[in-house]
Amino acid sequence: MSEVLVLIDHVEGAVRKPTYELLTIAKRLGEPSAVFIGPADQASDVAEKVKKYGAEKVYVVDDSQIKGYLVAPKAEALQQLAEKAQSNGGVAAILIPSTAEGKEVAGRLSIKLESGLITDAVDVQEGPVTTQSVFAGNYTVTAKVTHGTPIITVKPNSAAPEESEGAGTVEEFSATISDAAKTAQIVASQPRQATGRPELTEAAIVVSGGRGTGGNFEPVENLADAIGGAVGASRAAVDSGWIPHTFQIGQTGKTVSPQLYVATGISGAIQHRAGMQTSKTIVAVNKDEEAAIFELVDFGVVGDLHTVLPALTEEVTKRKG
């Protein structure tokens, strides 16, 4: 069976959930091989994690000559690895997380391998045939790469990770990085301040605030903390400068698909829906009973969020005891 290369999404060796989603998808297409570009001394830990989701092989590319640079060396390393795997038994597809970095790596790789590229897939089935949700979720497009090795970037939450034991055989791969790939160097980096909340795109619960918050996100944050959720926002809240863009959900923000999405003070514009409409259970709090968001919800509360959210938070906290 041909290999399916999956680029591991990780922060300092901590594997992020989209990797497990990609491995789950990879199993539909061929034999999953995870690619770890990172410190070699973390490889065995990473291999233990990804083999639980079906990785038969774990290619390790030590990043000591890569990590000081932006994405070009990663694309070069992946190219060399894909060419080697291609000559060994074939590569059915290369799956990459749809992050900003992932998409840049994928774009560069597609040129290097002269292969077709599909970005922001929300589903990938045998073929591989991809599904994309475009024009603010108004159209669903199915597509297929017709030339070269299909390179596909997949949005987070596009598959439920399924555990299945793979061999997890570690293979070191030594890439030769050209000077041309080292022309953009990282001069400083600092980790984002930890909020103690789950990462927005991976969270099982998201509580979002919109213009209706009037700029006071405290009730939204308090509810999120009480139920272990992440905080999100509409573009109106972001554009008003109440909360950074990294919290924005929607067409021009992040896509989330949690078990529970609580929209508060958000009208439910099509562009916002595009980023949250696949959530399993949707709850809205809005003082306008005609608000479009109520068309989507499983449970709706017509009321002022500044009254409803503190009451809800208090009740949750009381019951948690």
Task: Find the shortest distance in angstroms from Cβ 240 to ligand FAD.
Answer: 9
Q: Is the dihedral of CA 317, 318, 320, 321 positive or negative?
A: positive
8 A C-beta contact, residue 71 and residue 99: no
Measured CA to CA, the distance from residue 91 to residue 20 in angstroms comes to: 19
Task: For Cα atoms 209, 212, 214, give the angle at the middle one, nearest 5 degrees.
Answer: 95
Select 85 or 282, whichever has its Cβ closest to ligand FAD: 282
Beta bridge partners of 171: 59
Instruction: Provide the minimum distance between the beta carbon of 299 and ligand FAD in the complex, in angstroms, as a whole number.
Output: 15
For 305, the enclosing helix (H) or strand (E) is helix 305-320
> Which pair of structure tokens corresponds to residue 107?
């774009």
Task: Select 30 or 265, whichever has its Cβ closest to ligand FAD.
Answer: 265
Cβ proximity to ligand FAD: between 205 and 266 the closer is: 266
Question: Which pair of tokens denotes residue 217?
Answer: 């996100």
Tokens 């290999």 sit on residue: 3
Per CB under 6 A, residues contacting ligand FAD are 210-212, 234-237, 248-253, 265-267, 269, 271-272, 275, 285-288, 291, 304-306
**Residue number with CB closer to ligand FAD (40 or 292):** 292
How many angstroms separate the CA atoms of 94 and 4, rounded?
Answer: 6
* Residue 248: CB minimum distance to ligand FAD, A: 6
Q: Is 131 left (phi over 0), alpha (psi -120 to 50) or beta?
A: beta
For residue 104, the minimal CB distance to ligand FAD (Å) is 21
Pick between residue 12 and residue 290 the one whose CB is nearest to ligand FAD.
Answer: 290
Q: How many CB atoms lie within 10 A of CB 7?
A: 25
Q: How far is the CB of 238 from ligand FAD (least distance, A)?
A: 8
Smallest separation, CB 276 to ligand FAD (Å)? 9
Give 163 or 239: the residue with its C-beta nearer to ligand FAD.
239
Asked if 37 and 66 touch (Cβ cutoff 8 Å), the reply is yes
Contact 156, 21 (CB under 8 A): yes
Name which of 10 and 306 has its Cβ closer to ligand FAD: 306
SS3 of 298, please?
A: coil
Our CB check for ligand FAD shows the closer of 70 and 270 to be 270
Query: What minimum distance in Å lies between the beta carbon of 186 and ligand FAD?
Result: 29
> Please, what is the minimum distance in Å from the beta carbon of residue 135 to ligand FAD?
10
State the alpha helices, DSSP H only, in 171-259.
218-226, 235-239
